[in-house]
Amino acid sequence: MDFSGAQSVDRALGLLALVGRHAGRGVGLSTLVEESGLNKPTARRLLLALMRAGFVEQDEATRRYYLGAESYVLGSLAAPRYGLLQFAMDSVVRLSRQTQDSAFVSVRRDLVSVCLHREEGTYPVRTHALQTGFEHPLGCGAGSLAILAALPDAEIETVLEANAPVLAASYPLYPPERIRADVAATRARGYALNPGLIVANSWGVGVAIRDRFGRAIGALSIAAIDTRLHPPRQAEIGALLAAEATRVEQKLAQRQSVYFTPVPETPRKSA
Amino acid sequence: MDFSGAQSVDRALGLLALVGRHAGRGVGLSTLVEESGLNKPTARRLLLALMRAGFVEQDEATRRYYLGAESYVLGSLAAPRYGLLQFAMDSVVRLSRQTQDSAFVSVRRDLVSVCLHREEGTYPVRTHALQTGFEHPLGCGAGSLAILAALPDAEIETVLEANAPVLAASYPLYPPERIRADVAATRARGYALNPGLIVANSWGVGVAIRDRFGRAIGALSIAAIDTRLHPPRQAEIGALLAAEATRVEQKLAQRQSVYFTPVPETPRKSA
DNA sequence: ATGTCGTGATCCATATTGTGGACCCTTATG
DNA sequence: CATAAGGGTCCACAATATGGATCACGACAT
């Protein structure tokens, strides 16, 4: 038993994450096969295991795969430690109401940022470039860039290096130098701007959310078509985002201190 | 490739669920070995895989295992489908304030009920029989019994049969006939009562939460020492719980209909 | 100091376990 | 009614996980 081992577990967990990224819409087997790089029998076998454990469910009629109840239970149990969504929800709703555009919370997950929630705007022309579950390398997209820019310089370099292959392969508009420049601009401005680099005409403004120790753990952002994000409105929205980010940070700090209250070990029953 | 297969995945997912049941407190390796029935090298190897994927984290200093960020992300992505906690949170807080006792939301997970959140009461003498992450077979404990009693009779029998081994092994005070009687009493009364059967002197009152289709998916409950749960107060609390359960059900019904709005398939980037 | 118990982590020969190319079935499509 | 696209499955092959034994560390107790 050296370092690695348990390869089927790695693959299964990768699949599970993949199903999660499609939550809400559901995924077909062939999409999963394609995105995971596994082959059909293997993917299916692992999905059966995930279903046995309740982490994934399959719609009998459409045969599409969705996250299962156990995934939800697990996340709820992890919430005291990482509960960004529950504290950011109010802010996202408020932002979307105030701006009439779609608002988002994203969370940092290692080298990428994942969109946890999208609150639909009321303005009739909307961009659907970002949806719940979508992920982008840190630095690509408004929220994602806001998170990156809030990291220490050394960490930024580590992240960019680790992301280099993905960036080169799938984000042609994002060479590392461009991201470094964006980081500088973000810091100078106070908010991150994505001028339609992922989907043309779909612009975004984002601000980072930090934990009690000052580490960037996520971001709030707003997306709209380019004509609705001219510089003066950018700055306005940037200020709104910053104010809401502060509120979220306060709630987080409060709950985190509760969480770190020592809890005595207790006997338990297990199934 | 017949029906089963992917056994290491089954074990890994079992371990993951187990770590979740200890979330907040963290678990040591030996506890996991004991509770999972695996042996040390295997458990460790699987935990390494879970850590590689970010579902589990290990505290460098204490070597205890906790749920990781990916678990949280996954749960947040599953929330639109199963979001009980986010809709019940308000009610639980209110219940705990009103009664001064500890209040809980539990969710049904197949044959058991899992406590998703405990809101501490203010009354100085408190029972700690139920904590976040603990699970009991359906029928054992106030919330758990409330859920069971809300199921169709046929399903109750199926559940009791499937749970028979666990009940016999770990719940000596809960023979199936006793549970059947409790179900009848619960239905007659309108709320479930646990008269200290899991931990002596720790009583509980619970009411089920149903989804839009009338299926019991979880429960709200209150726990206190026996002297604080004499019959008149039981009934009072039962009414409070029923009122809050209705509120949660309304929020759920609303959000569920939003969820089922068709969403067009969209191209995505994946890491 | 030093013995010993509890816990965490790891080695490595064994055989059980997963792998994936080829194939079948069902449902949409022209 | 042909054809394709997607979902699901078989089975010979070999790579993979398994777990008893062992080591490493820290916390007491002597």
Least confident segment among A38-47, A181-190, B221-230: A38-47
Give me the pLDDT at residue A253, please: 87
Q: Which two tokens stand for residue B82?
A: 């199963």
Is the separation of the CB atoms in A170 and A135 below 8 Å?
A: no
Does the distance separating the beta carbons of B111 and A265 come in below 8 Å?
no
Instruction: Please name the residues in contact with A171: beta carbons below 8 A apart, sequence gap of 6 or more.
Output: A136, A137, A140, A198, B269
Tokens 């454990």 correspond to what residue? Answer: A53
For residue B72, the distance in angstroms to the closest alpha carbon of chain A comes to 4
Higher-pLDDT residue of B180, B59: B180
Rounded average pLDDT over B234-258: 89
B28 touches strand C (CB under 7 A): yes
- Which of the two residues, A233 and B258, has the higher pLDDT score? A233
- State what percent of residues in chain A have pLDDT above 70: 92
User: With helix as H, strand as E and coil as C, how does A108-161 read?
Assistant: EECCEEEEEEEECCCCCCCCCCCCCCCEEECCCCHHHHHHHHCCCHHHHHHHHH
pLDDT of residue A4: 59
Q: For chain B, what is the mean pLDDT?
A: 90
Q: What is the pTM of this model?
A: 0.85
With CB atoms and an 8 Å threshold, state whether A135 touches B17: no
Give me the DSSP letters along A53-66.
Answer: TTSEEE-TTT--EE
B268 against B192, higher pLDDT:
B192
Task: Please name which of A194, A190, A179 lies closest in space to residue A138, comparing C-alpha atoms.
Answer: A179
B196-242 pLDDT, tens digit each = 999 999 999 999 999 988 999 999 999 999 999 999 999 999 999 99
The reply to whether the CB atom of residue B58 sits less than 7 A from any atom in nucleic acid chain C is yes
B187 CB less than 7 Å from any atom of strand C: no
- Per CB-CB distance under 8 Å, the chain B contacts of A73 are 17, 20, 75, 107, 109, 114, 116
Cβ of B74 and A17 within 8 Å? yes
Query: What is the reported pLDDT for B253?
Result: 87
Q: Which residue of B has its CA nearest to A40?
A: B1
CA distance B82 to chain A (A): 7
**What's the whole-number mean pLDDT along residues A202-206?**
97
For the segment A5-35, what is each residue's pLDDT rounded down to a tens digit? 678 899 999 999 999 999 878 999 989 998 9
Which residue is closest to B270 within chain A, CA to CA?
A135
Is the predicted pLDDT of residue B3 greater than 70, yes or no? no
Maximum pairwise Cα distance, chain B: 60
| A101: nearest Cα among A117, A116, A84, A118 | A118
**Chain D nucleotides covered by protein, CB below 7 Å:** 5-12, 16-21
Comparison of pLDDT for A106 and B45, the residue scoring more: A106
Percent of chain A with pLDDT over 90: 77
| Dihedral sign of CA atoms B157, B163, B165, B167 in order | negative
Q: Predicted confidence band at B109 (pLDDT cuts at 50, 70, 90)?
A: very high
Instruction: Report whether pLDDT(B266) > 70.
Output: no
C11 C1' – A245 CA distance, angstroms?
50
What's the pLDDT band for B4 if we cut at 50, 70, 90?
low
Question: Is pLDDT above 50 for A270?
Answer: no
B22-37 pLDDT, tens digit each: 987 899 998 999 899 8
Given a contact cutoff of 8 angstroms between Cβ atoms, the answer to whether B46 and A6 are in contact is yes
Question: Looking at residue A259, what is its pLDDT?
Answer: 42
* pLDDT over 70 (residue A60): yes
Average pLDDT, chain A: 90
Q: What is the pLDDT of residue A256?
A: 58
Please tell me the predicted confidence (pLDDT) of residue B47. 93
Predicted confidence at residue B197, as pLDDT, reads 96
| B2 has a pLDDT exceeding 60 | no
Does the pLDDT of residue A76 top 70, yes or no? yes
Q: What is the largest CA-CA distance in chain A?
A: 60
Which pLDDT tens digit goes with each residue over A81-102?
Answer: 888 998 999 999 999 999 999 9
pLDDT class of B1 with cuts at 50, 70, 90: very low
| Under 8 Å between Cβ of B165 and B212 | no
- Alpha carbon distance A58, A124 (integer Å): 34
pLDDT of res. B256: 58
Cross-chain residue pair B49–A116, CB shorter than 8 Å: no
Would you say the C-alpha torsion A50, A55, A60, A63 has a positive or negative sign?
A: negative
Q: Is the pLDDT of residue B76 over 70?
A: yes
The helix/strand/coil state of A182 is helix
